[in-house]
Amino acid sequence: MRLLGAAILLCLVDVLHAFAIEEKGDVFKRMACPGFVMFDNAAYLADMTFELPCNCKPEEVSSVIWYFQKSMGSHETTVLTDFAGTVFVDSGHIHAGSNILKRFSIRMFSLIVFRAQVTDSGHYLCGTKKGDFFYGYDVDVQPTKHITVAFLDRGQHVQDDYTEKLFSLFTTFWDWTRCDRCGVRGEQRRIGLCYVRSIQLHPRYRAAVPNVTSCGSRAVPAHFQRLHRLRRPEVAIRSCLTPCLKEEVPKEGVQAISNVISKLGEKPWLPRVPTQFHKQPVGVGLIIACPGARPEHAVAWDKDSVRLYRSHYLVGVNKSMRVFIDHGNHLHIQQVQVSDRGTYFCWREGEMVAGFRLSVIYQHQRRQILNDPETIYAVKAIGMSYIVISIIFVIIHMYRCCRQVLRCPART
């Protein structure tokens, strides 16, 4: 019976895989490749992850090769794949400083670039190992350094449009993120990227709106290259309040067992989320990332019961900040001090998902100071366990003695 079930499952996987390939093939049949390569404009903020699909190719081509060029006609072309088009990367090992060849993956003819950097801006083309190109992208990765921030609760406003004779600059905003906390006051972000409108843009580049492209696009003429100095990306932040979703209540018997198990390891001063423990020497910098979070996600940070709102802790709010949150949602602690110890919690998309227990030690510290909540809790738990076991041991022996006394026959 198990073999039959496994066979059915394998058949189902094969059918789904074939269906996916067929669907992809239908896309290529519907979309013919242009006579010469056009470049679709796409703009992102630094540290974001993006996907570029190869929207057209001849039917006889079974795999594609992705190439990268810094600019049109450049003699320096980087091959972003092996020549089988089958590169896969574990995104969990990707870092912001990694080379682009270590930050991409190819899946079903699409190129995925992890944690894009400003230096990744340029042309991306899919084609064959012979050098035939089918489809191209003009990618503009805009920097987060010196990004413009507007706190709407303080009455601040986003940037006004900038207009000159030959071009105009404006910001195109993404949708508001979800509220980054639930049940308490949270915050929402809205990311805005710089765009330019001009009739002098290069005609080989395509955009959703005619005569409009992102400010860092290669479609912008060379004499407009100072645009990045005139306008930066921006982010708007406002307060929000949303209720928490109710957790699904298990059945009565399962709930009783789970309550007993959870209360055995429950720590009343900590929320019930997975917690990582870390020791950091005094004076050393620390950067904490929220598990599974990306720059476009709604992410919030708390220290114990203190809310680290962006209105006070966003990078750039105060020039002398030692603890701050960057635009990639990472929490920075510069020159760690003893007062920084505690538990830091991160929220992702309105739900608390992880804790980070920080212990601060001196470089030459040799003995453990028993004054933190974890140590006190461990000592209490061991003591209570010893007392409970001792009581059970005494009760068992008293019960056995009583049984032996009752079984002994009365002497005449």
Looking at residue 10, its pLDDT comes to 39
Phi-psi region of 133 (alpha: psi -120 to 50; beta: other; left: phi over 0): beta
Looking at residue 73, its pLDDT comes to 63
**Amino acid identity for residue 195 in this structure:** Y
Segment 92-110 shows an average pLDDT of: 63
Q: Give all strands of the β-sheet with 110-113 in edge-to-edge order.
A: 50-52, 110-113, 104-107
What does 241-259 look like in DSSP terms, one character per residue?
E-PPPPPPPPPHHHHHHHH
Question: Is residue 147 classed as helix, strand or coil in its secondary structure?
Answer: coil
What does 343-398 look like in DSSP terms, one character per residue?
EEEEEETTEEEEEEEEEEE-TT--S--S-SHHHHHHHHHHHHHHHHHHHHHHHHHH
Residue 15 reports pLDDT greater than 80: no
10 Å Cβ neighbour count for 396?
10
**Average pLDDT along the chain:** 79
Looking at residue 1, its pLDDT comes to 43
Looking at residue 247, its pLDDT comes to 61
Looking at residue 262, its pLDDT comes to 45
Residue 326 near residue 96, CB atoms below 8 Å: no
Residue 196 near residue 169, CB atoms below 8 Å: yes
Measuring CA to CA, which residue among 152, 159, 154, 116 is closest to residue 137?
116
Looking at residue 99, its pLDDT comes to 52
10 Å Cβ neighbour count for 86?
10
What is the bridge-based pairing of β-strands 286-288 and 299-303?
Answer: unpaired
Segment 283-311 shows an average pLDDT of: 92
Residue 57 reports pLDDT greater than 80: no
pLDDT band at 133, cuts 50/70/90? confident
pLDDT band at 35, cuts 50/70/90? low
Looking at residue 341, its pLDDT comes to 92
Residue 307 reports pLDDT greater than 70: yes
Report d(CA 152, CA 399) in Å as an integer: 71
The whole-angstrom distance between residue 220's C-alpha and the CA centroid of its chain comes to 31
Residues 61-80 as b/e (b if ≥16 CB within 10 A, e otherwise) read: beebbbbbbeebeeeeeeeb
Looking at residue 31, its pLDDT comes to 56
Segment 296-313 shows an average pLDDT of: 94
Report d(CA 203, CA 219) in Å as an integer: 8
Question: Is residue 111 classed as helix, strand or coil in its secondary structure?
Answer: strand
Report d(CA 124, CA 38) in Å as an integer: 11
Looking at residue 155, its pLDDT comes to 93
What is the bridge-based pairing of β-strands 77-79 and 65-69?
Answer: antiparallel
**Amino acid identity for residue 20 in this structure:** A
Residue 131 reports pLDDT greater than 90: no
Residue 186 reports pLDDT greater than 70: yes
The whole-angstrom distance between residue 73's C-alpha and the CA centroid of its chain comes to 35
Residue 100 reports pLDDT greater than 70: no
pLDDT band at 152, cuts 50/70/90? very high
Q: How far apart are the first and last CA of the chain?
A: 70
Residue with the larger pLDDT of the pair 145 and 185: 185
Which residues contact residue 44 at a Cβ distance below 8 angstroms, ignoring those fewer than 6 apart? Answer: 50, 116, 139, 140, 141, 142, 193
Residue with the larger pLDDT of the pair 197 and 102: 197
Measuring CA to CA, which residue among 354, 353, 351, 355 is closest to residue 179?
351
Which residues make beta-bridge pairs with 136? 39, 125
Looking at residue 65, its pLDDT comes to 85
Looking at residue 85, its pLDDT comes to 46
Looking at residue 98, its pLDDT comes to 47
Looking at residue 153, its pLDDT comes to 94
Segment 376-391 shows an average pLDDT of: 80
Residue 100 near residue 80, CB atoms below 8 Å: yes
pLDDT band at 6, cuts 50/70/90? very low
